[in-house]
A and B are shown apart, each in its own frame.
Chain A
Amino acid sequence: MPALQITNLSKTYRNGPQALKGIDLTVESGDFFALLGPNGAGKSTAIGIICSLVNKSDGKVEVFGNDLDNDLLGVKRHIGLVPQEFNFNQFEPVIEILINQAGYYGIERSDAAQRAEKRLKQLNLWEKRNTIARNLSGGMKRRLMIARALVHDPRLLILDEPTAGVDIEIRMSMWEFLRKINEEGTTIILTTHYLEEAENLCRNIAIIDNGMIIENSSINVLLERLQQEIFVLDIDTAVSEAPAIEGYSVTLRNAQSLQVTVDKASGLTRLFCALAEQNIEVLSLRNKQNRLEQLFFEMTRESRSPVEESAE
Chain B
Amino acid sequence: MNYRSNVWTPFTTLVIKEFNRFIRIWVQTVLPPGIMMALYFAIFGKLIGERIGEMDGYAYIDFIVPGLILMAVITNSYANVVSSFYQAKFGRYIEEILVSPVPNWVILAGYVGGGVARGMVVGVLVTIVAMFFTDLQVHNYLVTLLVFFLTSVLFSLGGFINAVYAKNFDDIAIVPTFVLTPLTYLGGIFYSIQLLPDFWQTASLANPILYMVNAFRYGLIGISDINIMWAFVIILFFITVLASFSMRLLNKGVGLRS
Contact = CB atoms under 8 A, between A and B. Distances in A.
Which range holds the interface residue count of chain A?
Answer: 35 or more
A184 B93 CA distance: 29
Contact of A76 (B4, B88, B91, B99): B99
Nearest to B17: A100
Given A77-B101, A105-B10, 13 more contacts: A13-B258, A52-B99, A55-B258, A73-B6, A88-B91, A100-B17, A100-B96, A103-B17, A104-B10, A104-B13, A104-B14, A106-B10, A107-B5
A88 B96 contact: yes
Contacts of A235: none
A87 interface: yes
Contacts of A106: 1, 4-6, 9-10, 101
B100 A87 contact: no
B20 to A, nearest CB: 7
A100 B18 CA distance: 11
B83 interface: no
B257 interface: yes
Given A73-B103, A76-B101, A96-B20, A108 B9 contact: yes
A112 B190 CA distance: 49
Nearest to B88: A89
A104 B96 contact: yes
23 contacts: A13-B258, A52-B257, A54-B257, A74-B101, A77-B101, A81-B95, A88-B91, A88-B96, A89-B88, A89-B91, A96-B17, A99-B13, A100-B13, A100-B96, A103-B10, A103-B14, A103-B16, A104-B10, A104-B13, A104-B97, A104-B101, A104-B102, A107-B5
A103 B14 CA distance: 8
A90 interface: yes
Contacts, number: 85
B224 interface: no
B99 A53 contact: yes
A37 to B, nearest CB: 19
Contacts of A81: 95, 99
Interface of B: 1, 4-6, 9-10, 12-14, 16-17, 20, 24, 88, 91-93, 95-103, 253, 257-258
Given A103-B12, A106-B1, A106-B10, A87 B93 contact: yes
A51 interface: yes
A87 B98 contact: no
Given A87-B92, A107-B5, A51 B99 contact: yes
Nearest to A111: B9
Contact of A107 (B9, B17, B91): B9
A104 B5 CA distance: 9
Interface string A81-107: 101011111110000110111011111
A74 B1 CA distance: 10
Contacts of B13: 99-100, 103-104, 109
Contacts of A103: 9-10, 12-14, 16-17
A86 B90 CA distance: 12
Of A48, A52, A96, A103, which is in contact with the most chain B CB atoms at under 10 Å from its CB? A103
Contacts of B9: 103, 106-108
Interface in A99-136: 99-101, 103-109
Contact of A89 (B93, B98, B101, B257): B93
A206 interface: no
Given A55-B258, A89-B88, A96-B20, A79 B99 contact: yes
B248 to A, nearest CB: 15
A100 B4 CA distance: 16
Contacts of B103: 73
B166 to A, nearest CB: 18
B88 A105 contact: no
Contacts of B258: 13, 48, 53-55
Contacts of B99: 51-53, 76, 79, 81
A98 to B, nearest CB: 10
A94 B1 CA distance: 27
Given A103-B12, A104-B13, A90 B101 contact: no
